[in-house]
Amino acid sequence: MKKLIRICSLLLLLAGCGGLCGCKAVELEDRSFPMMVAVELSDMKQTQFRYVFANEWSDINSYLDYNHLKVVLIEEEFLEDEKKYQDFLTEIQKEETFPRNTYVCVTPDADEICDTGEALAIDVGTYIENMLQTKERLEKNHLPTIGDLLDDKENQMRIWKLPVLSAKDGQIEITDYYQIAYGSPSALRES
Amino acid sequence: MFLDNQRISFRQVYRLYLFSLVGISTLVIPGKIAEKNGVYGVISILLGGALAFLYLFYLKRVAKNMETDLITYLDRREGGGNLLKRGALFYLAGSAVMTAGYVAFVFSKLVQKSLTAEENYLLILALIVLVGGYAVVGGIESRARVYEVMFWFVLIPMFLLLLISLKGINFIYFDFHRAPDYGKMLQDGYLCFLPFQTLFFALLLPKYVKKDYNRLFFSIGLALFCGVGILIAFFLILVGTFGAEALSKMEFPAVTFLNNVQFTGGFFKRLDAIMMGIWFFTLFALMNMNIHYGGILLKESVKKGGGKRYLLGILAVVYLLAAGLSYVEPMQEFFFNFFLFFGVPMYVLLPGIFLAMGRKRA
């Protein structure tokens, strides 16, 4: 009997703790899921993000859940300022904002890519991810992710080639590759 | 119905110890030893492992001389009144509770980081400590049985994980041309010995197993050997995957590693969540071991009876310590330095001192 009371009280206690587990959770309808984040410089030359969401009703004022993020698109102008690039990486490393397996691409004009994406049947983040995954599969190579850039910021041992995206006739395509050499943007391009 | 005579088999000792040694070492050590010496950190692990084996041989000699477990030996030789003995036991109990607090902290952080990122840390911690307390009340035998059953369920995913991750290794990160810093290598060797401090509890185990010291210490030695092997495998794979510098900046490289491994095929896609179980079980085993023996040592040092009330007190202290470690950052460094300069040296010195004290009295 004593044992039964002990087990019951423990179960009650655990259930009590378990009951509290939902208190802090943000409900699904209160979350927004960015599928692509464009990193660019504002008119004041400050780092700014532009988000592309999975649904049109999402907005940046709700809770941003980055778990479905597919692509981080960095504007070329942003990469010209190495300090800004390093600060950006330090910040996302500290905050662990973006998933490490998110693809990273470069573009001369982020707005152009975002606007082109609006005409697509799926969101532009998923579209670019599909494009990159197909390329990886066909060419049997590995395209750089946020995790690769974060690691190389510390290791400074490798050269990563970020796909450069451009929009042409309503289509997004890879024109060439931007080199991040030994942890720093090199401004070098290769096809 | 299962037998409940508080006795465990040598196979259970091996499994219990392997779980206790693998968890915290694979989580904490790789990041700490990679910074200065990169891949040569392996030498530090080997040094730490060699120290642990020496320590185990020393414990075996002490245990053989005592001819029983530490508590019974001290009771027979010293009675209950010796202040020095009681002080030493209290100190050891304190060390065990501090270790349990640290493990509870790492465990809760791990759960928060990998599974329930938005959940309250204190709530996760409360659940872990409560379940830990329940497992300790269940007794060593039921815990040993659980770990015995879970053993392959935990180890097979671990080996699978190591195997899958081999293809992600980049040999450029091994950087064999790096000039090793021998002083740091020695320091790291001692650091690698820290997670093996639980070997000390081998002196309390004879009460729960058949009186065969050779087999008892062989089981623990085997667990230590496998534990060191797994740590080396993990370390090399982590260095090869992330690079030494990046590895040294990570809080829990193993968690980052799990998110990084590409599991192919639909069935394996969400295997990372299951693989977190490797660390959940191993950390749980280590925390319980420390709570269990901390309770025994505390009870013996206070000598006032009180049954399970000690456990409640210990659980409360473990909870407070783990909460403090999360919110008061300097506490982490204090704990680290305590284990480095006081905790582990005393675990090494005290068995010999107890033996000498007992002999003198006899």
pLDDT value, residue B1:
46
| High-pLDDT (> 90) share of chain B, % | 39
Q: Taking CA atoms, what residue in B is nearest to A97?
A: B117
> What is the C-alpha separation between B58 and B282, in angstroms, rounded?
26
Asked, for residue A52, whether it belongs to a domain, the answer is: yes
The answer to whether A9 contacts chain B (CB < 8 Å) is no
What is the rounded distance in angstroms from the CA atom of residue B252 to the CA atom of residue B254?
A: 5
Strand order in the sheet with A159-168: A47-53, A34-41, A71-75, A103-107, A159-168, A171-181, A184-190
Q: How far is B73 from chain A (nearest CA, A)?
A: 33
Q: Supply φ then ψ for residue B54, to 5 degrees.
A: -60, -45
* DSSP tag of A145: B
Residue B189: count of CB within 10 angstroms of its CB = 20
Of A17, A100, A157, the CB nearest to B173: A157
Shortest distance, CA B139 to any CA of chain A (angstroms) = 14
A142 touching B, CB under 8 A?
no
The answer to whether the CB atoms of A14 and B131 lie below 8 A apart is: yes
Tokens 């090199």 appear where? A186
Domain B10-361, classified CATH 3.40.1620.10, yes or no: no
- B287 three-class SS: helix
Nearest to B285 by CA among B19, B18, B25, B10: B19
Give yes or no for A140 touching B (CB within 8 A): no
Instruction: Give the A:B interface size as CB pairs under 8 Å.
Output: 57
How many CB atoms within 10 Å of residue B358?
18
ipTM for this model: 0.81
Core vs surface per residue A16-37: b (16+ CB within 10 A) or e: eeeeeeeeeeeeeeeebbbbbb
CB contact under 8 A, A157 and B118: no
Whether residue B42 has pLDDT greater than 60: yes
The model scores a pTM over 0.80 = yes
Residue B217: the pLDDT is: 93
CA A108/CA B169 separation, integer angstroms: 33
Chain A interface disruption, residue of B108, B109, B134, B178, most A CBs within 10 A: B134
Transcribe B58-87 into DSSP letters: HHHHHHHHH-S-HHHHHHHHH-S--HHHHH
User: CA B202, CA B64: separation in Å to the nearest integer?
Assistant: 12
Q: Which residue, A154, A162, A158, is CA-closest to A182?
A: A158
pLDDT band (50, 70, 90) for residue B239: very high
Cβ of residue A100 closer than 8 Å to a chain B Cβ:
yes
Residue B115 touches partner A, C-beta closer than 8 Å: no
Mean pLDDT of B111-124: 83
Smallest CA–CA distance, residue A170 to chain B, in Å, is 33
Q: Which of B310-322 are b and which e, b meaning 16 or more Cβ less than 10 Å from the residue's Cβ?
A: bbeebbebbbebb
Q: What is the pLDDT of residue B271?
A: 67
Domain span at residue A181 reads 23-189
Question: Quick one: A12 exposed, middle or buried, by C-beta within 10 A (0-12, 13-18, 19+)?
Answer: exposed
Tokens linked to B58: 């020393």
Name chain B contacts of A181, Cβ cutoff 8 Å.
none
Q: What amino acid occupies position B176?
A: F
Contacts of B249 in chain A (CB under 8 A): 93, 154
Q: What are the sequence ranges of the domains in chain B?
A: 10-361
pLDDT at B95: 93
User: Coil, strand or helix: which one is A104?
Assistant: strand
Mind listing the pLDDT tens digit for each residue in B193-206? 999 999 999 998 88
B286-312 tens-digit pLDDT: 999 999 999 888 888 887 666 677 888
B80-112: pLDDT as tens digits: 557 778 888 899 999 999 999 999 999 999 888
Residue B120's closest chain A neighbor by CA?
A24
Q: Specify the number of domains making up chain A.
A: 1
